[in-house]
Amino acid sequence: MAKPYDYLIVGAGLFGAVFARQATKAGRKCLVIDKRNHIAGNIYTESIEGIQVHRYGAHIFHTNNKRVWDYVNEFAVFNRYTNSPVANYHGELYNLPFNMNTFNKMWGVVTPAEAAAKIAEQRAAHFTAEPKNLEEQAINLVGTDIYEKLIKGYTEKQWGRPCDELPAFIIKRLPVRLTFDNNYFNALYQGIPNGGYTQMVANMLQGIEVRLGVNYLKEKAELDALAGRVIYTGPIDAYFDYALGALQYRSVRFETEVLDCPNYQGNAVINYTDAETPYTRIIEHKHFEFGSTEPGTKTVISREYSAEWQPGDEPYYPVNDEPNMALYARYKAMADAEPHVVFGGRLGEYRYYDMDKVIESALDCVAVQLDKINQYK
C-alpha cells in the first residue's frame, strides 16, 4: 500500500528545508515536522522592536561556494554585512581576527615586519616541541600576550575547562594577518538575509506541509508509517535512545533584553576574553543590518553564556574529540543499518557545520536520494 508521503523530514532547519525544497521540486511529496514551535532551527530570527533578533546566537552566512551562494539567493536578498568582531579584555578593545590593528594596539608595532618579529620572539621564548594541550599549542602559534589576553579566558569559558586540560588539536591554526583587515571570514560571499533567516527558510518551505510541535522520537511508529523514507536531522544518539551512551555537545544560553538607547556597543559582536566576565560575548542585533543604528531609539542585546550540555538541553555543536568520535563511529554503523532512514545535518552527522556546509550536504544528499525512493513505496 502506497504511503501518503515520499519523505518524512524530521527538522525544519536548514538541512531539512533544503532537502524538502529540492525533493518537492523533483515532484516528491514531503512532510516536514519539528518539535519546536517555529521553523528555521538554530538560525531562527524574530522581530523585536522592529529588529531582527538571532534567538540562538549570531549567524553570518559566508561561503566560497558559488553554487551554494546562488542557491540561497533564490530565497532571500542578502545585505553586505561583514563579520568584524571586537575583543574586550578588561576594557581594552582589540580587533579580530588577529591583524595589524590588533598588533598595533597590543604592542605599538606599525609595520608587518615589526609585528612578525614580535610574534616570532614570543613564540620562541615559550616554544614546546610537542604540544600536549591547547595552551602549549596556542602559545606555539601566537605567543604569550595574545594567548593570555585574547584566547585563554574566552576559550576556557567556551569549553568549561582549563586550556591546559584541553587537547591541542582543537586549535590547529590561528589566523594571523599582517594586514589591516578586520573581516573575520576568508570568504568570497558573505552577508545576512534582509528580513532575517526565518523568512528565507519560509520561502524554501513554501507550498510544503509543515507540522510544528511534533516530537518524532515520541511518535516514531505512527510517523514512520506516513512516508517511504525518513530524513532525520536530530541528534544521532537520541535516535537510538542513547543505547551506546550519550555523545557530548556544547550548549549555549542567552539573556536577551531591550534597552532604551539607540546604540549600545557600536558593533554586532563583542567577545569578552577575560575569565572574570561570566558571558562569552554580547550581541547587539541591529548592527547585523549593515551600517544601521535604526530603527527607533531602542536596541536589543543578548549576553551569550557557554554551557556544558545536559540531556534535555538544546545541543549546539559537537565535541569532536577522540572519545566522542569513536562513539559516533559506532552510532554511524547503526545508522547505516537503518534501511529507510537518512541521517543529516549538524546533529545527525555529529559535525561542526557552517551554514554553507549544511546546504552543500543537503543538496548532495537529496541528489542521491531522489533516485531511490520508488523501491521503498
> Are the beta carbons of 117 and 123 closer than 8 angstroms?
no
Which residues form the catalytic set? 173, 177, 250, 281, 304, 352, 354
